[in-house]
Amino acid sequence: MSFFQKKSDKKQNINLTSNAAENKQVIYQALGESADITSRTISVDKQNQISMVLLYINGLVDQKIIQNMVLETLMIEMDEQTKQEVAQTPKDIQSIYQEFSLIAEELQTIEELILAILNGDTVFFIDGKTSGFSIKTQGDQTSRGVQQTTTQQVVRGPKDSFTESIDTNVALVRKRIKDPNLWSKKKVIGSKTHTTVVYAYLNGVVSSDLVTEVEERLSKIEVNSILESGNIEEFIQDETYTPFPTVYNTERPDAIAAGILEGRIAIFVDGTPDVLLVPVLFKHFLQSPEDYYQRSDIATLLRWLRTLALFLSLLTPSIYIALTTFHQEMIPTTLLISLAAQREGIPFPAFGEAVLMEITFELLREAGIRLPTTIGSAISIVGALVLGQATVEAGIVSAMMVIVVSLTAISSFVFPSYNFGISIRILRFGFMTLAATFGLFGIFIGLLLIVMHLVGLRSFGMPYLTPIAPFNKEAQTDTLLRLPIWKKTKQKKPN
């Protein structure tokens, strides 16, 4: 009997029979008689005529739970008197089921049983009954527990991060928001992986239209596999062909909790520590959770620095190319003479120098990420120093170009969000091309096109540049500025 239809690849809702051995064989065949499937047959009557079959997959279950909650319960509760009663009156098998009614879920079809087994549950059924039970016996297969975040470091604030366990991740958020209005809904996405996806929101704070929109977008996903939250992000994002992310992702529980409190929705995906948050605005990528743990003046200064880093990372190479190629009159005479002396003998134009150095730095950046941690940072630092000095001494690039690329690289590491930094890296090459072609006019044209694109961009229906465009005066207290919390919430300052 085939459990999967070959043409439509849909599962058949095959009902269980009253024979436990036949049910076991059907499940074995549906799972390809895989070697990691374990079955245990237990006699529940004195004459060994009525059997109970347990099925589970090794590695997905916790053997201690099976031993303590299932097997020992059977051995203790089903004494000699109970066994004799069951043997005399088969209908009393229901009493065995009742022993598990508080810890198990009743299932009616083979499909439900198989999905339960693949989720790490233990299923069992008894001769004479056409339904089974599933008991939660999942083991913790995550390779690590709650550890310090690796991608969004802060000086002050919580250090814990999400893990690969969706239950742990939801619990980390609920630990921070102890409110009965924190609601979570579960979906299973992926016809092959059956990945658990949970979206959580604060009822009464979030917009009902936003909840409906998230529900609809998740429901429309039809795909074989979901292995990471990035797969979900590609399906639900508003715009595909844009360099700017319209879905926020983070591994920090405090950032997700803060977003939920603001009326946004968090999307958890089983098997990944990166949690999605929607909708997201442009300003969120220039803000860090630490902004709300530091004093307001310090947080405001840090936001200004990130804004400055945004322009430096995006425009520094292109401005250098435009000035040295088209607008030398804008450079002070002393500096112009120094630049001319440095570029004497350089075989490439400024644009060629910039592209060469930028590509070299991108290669070093990727090598540092992919190499083992113990040597990755050393390779990045040594490679940058050696290559920078060697290329200058060899007369391939000028010393000023090395300074420009270094300043650009340092600025690109300031952004709290990694994927936003990638967007700026992509746009940087476009601005370099415009600068080499049209000079400063090309840079202005590029900035105008980006602003026009950002104004028309949406994230789950919300304008991407909110609260700047459309302008919201009240929301400016938490954009480039970060006013004291007591003032932003319109509360009276404590004496």
Residue 145 lies inside a defined structural domain of this protein? no
Average pLDDT over residues 312-336: 93
Residue 7 lies inside a defined structural domain of this protein? no
Q: Are residues 303 and 441 in the same domain?
A: yes
Residue 277's contacts (CB-CB under 8 Å, 6 or more residues apart) are 247, 248, 249, 250, 255, 256, 259, 264, 265, 266, 267
Residue 34 lies inside a defined structural domain of this protein? yes
Q: Are residues 304 and 194 in the same domain?
A: no
Residue 175 Ramachandran class (φ > 0 left, ψ -120 to 50 alpha, else beta): alpha
**Tens of pLDDT along 185-242?**
999 999 888 899 999 999 999 999 999 999 999 999 999 999 999 999 999 999 888 9
How confident is the model at residue 92, as a pLDDT?
47
Q: Are residues 303 and 389 in the same domain?
A: yes
Last residue within a domain, chosen from 280, 305, 320: 280
Taking the C-alpha atoms of residue 126 and residue 43, their distance in angstroms, rounded to an integer, is 9
How confident is the model at residue 212, as a pLDDT?
95
Residue 148 lies inside a defined structural domain of this protein? no
Last residue within a domain, chosen from 223, 254, 280: 280
Q: What is the enclosing helix (H) or strand (E) of 308?
A: helix 296-325
Residue 156 lies inside a defined structural domain of this protein? no
Confirm if 482 and 306 have CB atoms less than 8 A apart.
no
Confirm if 300 and 477 have CB atoms less than 8 A apart.
no
Q: Are residues 333 and 426 in the same domain?
A: yes
Taking the C-alpha atoms of residue 118 and residue 394, their distance in angstroms, rounded to an integer, is 61
Confirm if 286 and 468 have CB atoms less than 8 A apart.
no
Q: Are residues 230 and 254 in the same domain?
A: yes
- Between 38 and 257, the higher pLDDT residue: 257
Calculate the average pLDDT of the chain: 83
Residue 158 lies inside a defined structural domain of this protein? no
- Between 7 and 205, the higher pLDDT residue: 205
Confirm if 418 and 412 have CB atoms less than 8 A apart.
no
Average pLDDT over residues 264-275: 94
Looking at the structure of the chain, the number of domains it has is: 3
Domain that holds residue 40: 20-135
Q: Are residues 464 and 378 in the same domain?
A: yes
In this prediction, residue 486 has a pLDDT band, given cuts at 50, 70 and 90, of confident
Amino acid in position 204: G
Residue 24 lies inside a defined structural domain of this protein? yes
How confident is the model at residue 393, as a pLDDT?
79
Q: Are residues 222 and 254 in the same domain?
A: yes
How confident is the model at residue 477, as a pLDDT?
84
Which tokens is 66 given? 């099976």
Residue 214 lies inside a defined structural domain of this protein? yes
Q: Are residues 299 and 383 in the same domain?
A: yes
Torsion angle of alpha carbons 211, 212, 214, 218, nearest 10°?
Answer: 140
**Tens of pLDDT along 401-445?**
889 988 998 898 899 888 899 999 999 999 999 999 999 999 999
Does this model's pTM top 0.75? My answer is: yes
Last residue within a domain, chosen from 112, 135, 158: 135
pLDDT at 260 over 70: yes
Q: Are residues 49 and 195 in the same domain?
A: no
How confident is the model at residue 476, as a pLDDT?
84
**Tens of pLDDT along 69-93?**
666 666 655 554 454 454 444 434 4
Q: Are residues 178 and 49 in the same domain?
A: no
Q: Are residues 333 and 459 in the same domain?
A: yes
Q: Are residues 330 and 389 in the same domain?
A: yes
